[in-house]
Structure 1
Amino acid sequence: MTDRQEVLAAIEKALDEVLEREITELTEETRLFDDLRLDSSAILELLLLVEDTTGIAVDPEDLDIDHLRTVRTFADYVEAVLARGEEGS
């Protein structure tokens, strides 16, 4: 997975599953907490689903709340992890 659109599609699919509904107007500016009303357990589920889909391994020490502000910041984080080659075992 190397394309930005693939990363965004993986995030959107994971959000659909977490929220148990299709997100129809998701943009990179969509705020995960404020707009989608995700809570800590929903964020954890989102992280696990994105890990499964993209093959990355999220390091809790590396993850910051700023990475989870918007779809854009989360996609940037996923792309950075992919670029470093930190795939899950």
Structure 2
Amino acid sequence: MWNMMCDVMPTISEDSISQRSSQLSGEDANFEQLMVSMLDERDKLVESLRETQERLGDSELRLKEVEKERDSLHRQIAANLPQVSDLNANAWLLM
């Protein structure tokens, strides 16, 4: 009876089990390395986004300052140049 069981049951090779285990371990290591790389890349992108948003905020503030300066210069020019209607009236007087 014992001989029949040995003939029917296939033998389990320990080498194939350890190969499968090492193959899975290698795949797990590759997956882990991929995840670490992705997280590192995400961190770099988040930092870059933060810096870009900060620069955008600075640029928007500078734009508002320049617009105020432009408006002030326009008011100064308008106050210091003779009006067009005054020039036309003076031209009629000269005729």
- What is the TM-score when the length of structure 2 is the normalising length? 0.19
Bigger radius of gyration, 1 or 2? 2
- What is the TM-score when the length of structure 1 is the normalising length? 0.20
The structure that is helix-richer by fraction is 2
Greater relative contact order (Cα < 8 A, sep 6+) = 1
